[in-house]
Amino acid sequence: MAYPQGNRQAKVANREILRVLCDRLDHTEGSWVDELPSVLWALRTTSKEGTGVTPFHLVYDGEVVALVEVGVESDRVQYYNEGNTERRLMELDLVDETRAKAVVQLTAYRQWVMQNYNQRVIPRSF
């Protein structure tokens, strides 16, 4: 069974990856294979306008700790507590609620985009 909406989403995601890869390769010398992991990381950890959160947050219900933060001992890494597993499990239980909020925000964003688009359309009858 084919899913046309899913195919469109895959095309948009692939187009975004290619766009960022092309931009990155214009500024640096190297192969796209070397740049792909950093491009994917950037796309997964950048907040999206439609949902207001990062794709990483929607999957794992937590913010990313960048490798730089681990190396320089940021507050998040320094004050990490191993006994915090109970709180983390509670956050994971709420991941469905976070995803539902993102869906509501995305729907509102789509309606806003559609409304703005429709304001600029000039109706014509033939």
pLDDT in the model for residue 39:
85
Sequence-distant (6+) residues with CB within 8 A of 21 are: 32, 35, 36, 39
Higher pLDDT, 45 or 83: 45
Domain ranges of the chain: 4-120
Alpha helices, H only, the chain: 4-27, 32-44, 55-60, 67-71, 75-78, 85-93, 95-120
pLDDT at 70 over 70: no
Q: At what angle do helices 4-27 and 32-44 cross, to 10 degrees?
A: 120
Is the pLDDT higher at 15 or at 99? 15
Return the sign of the alpha-carbon dihedral for residues 54, 60, 63, 67. negative
Three-state DSSP class for residue 50: coil
- Find, among 23, 62, 55, the residue nearest to 39 by Cα: 23
CA distances from 11 to 1, 34, 91 (A): 18, 22, 32
Q: What is the mean pLDDT of residues 90-95?
A: 74
pLDDT of 75 above 50? yes
